Amino acid sequence: MGKSGLLLVGFVLCVVYFSGAVSAFRTCAEARYCCPGRNNTCFAHGPRMDNDNKQERCFCDQECVTMGDCCIDYTQTCSGKDCLVDEWGSWSKCSETCGYGTQRRKRKVLRHRQNGGKRCPVLHEKRACVGDQCFAVQSVEFRGKELGEVGNILPAEFGRWRTSSQYSMRHDIRRNLIENRLSNEVPTRLAYCARFTIVSTSLYCNTTEFSKKWANELQLRKTVCVQCDPFAMDKDLGTRCKGHGVYKEVTRWNAVDVPYCTGLWRQETEPTDCVCDVDLKDSFILI
């Protein structure tokens, strides 16, 4: 037999081998076929869903559903399966222990989509949160510095009338008191307040001038509410107001815009997330 004859025999054997291999696949599962759209090469040699025994082929493409010539296992093997996910996990801790931060949660994929099923939904979520551990302890590191600071105060109405020329920090001596802090980034820490007892006060706090009569409330042994707003916080001091006092210790205060009205007070309550009642005359704000 010549060379051409050997090649012909080899070709025939290959055809017989692969035909036998293909004919061995009687279902989509055996052939491992699940084809999108219409694909005339996506077939096996097994029973069909339409029970047409005269046909030698059954198909595993999506179009077979319309044509009715699917392999008998097509629905079970090739129908699209949607992504399946687990329940949401718990929210993580707030990213900030003090002030605004974010919380995150996630869920796992239990089964990825198959054969054109629905894609997986969102697997990660985040939301805003507020850390509330701002005042668990007062700074030990800066305790000495805090004891030496002076709390510059205005009536709590300043928080409401911040844009008023009468209480504007851009006017008169107040501009000099906080000029260096105006460039600080406004912090995200919440407002906090504490109560102080006046242990020393100046005679100059008693005034009849209408715009300064608020200082008359700073009388000996009187307890007042003092508030620190985010607007007045200094990030270089650990995101707090300068002169905010030390719990159970005596520090100094100064009535802004009332010349020589100064004194001492003792912090009676630890700072907490709160605001002073602006409608009460014994409420003040640090600047």
CB 73 within 8 A of CB 28: yes
- pLDDT tens sequence across 208-221: 888 899 999 999 99
In the block, residue with structure tokens 């928080």: 159
Give the whole-angstrom CA distance, residue 256 versus residue 178. 11
Percentage of the chain lying above the pLDDT 90 cut: 40
Give the whole-angstrom CA distance, residue 227 versus residue 245. 11
CB 63 within 8 A of CB 42: no
Q: Please tell me the predicted confidence (pLDDT) of residue 185.
A: 44
What CATH code is assigned to 84-132? 2.20.100.10
Computed over its alpha carbons, how large is the radius of gyration of the chain? 40
Q: Residue 178: pLDDT band by 50, 70, 90 thresholds?
A: very low
Ordered DSSP codes for 9-29: HHHHHHHHHHHHHHHH--SHH
Question: Which 3 state secondary structure label does DSSP give 282?
Answer: coil
Q: Where are the domains of the chain?
A: 24-78, 84-132, 146-162+187-286
Chain-centroid distance, C-alpha 141: 30
- pLDDT tens sequence across 47-81: 999 989 888 899 999 889 888 899 999 988 887 77
Give the whole-angstrom CA distance, residue 211 versus residue 180. 26
More confident residue, 168 or 274: 274
- pLDDT tens sequence across 93-109: 988 776 678 899 999 99
- pLDDT tens sequence across 242-264: 999 998 999 999 999 899 999 99
Judge if pTM exceeds 0.75: no
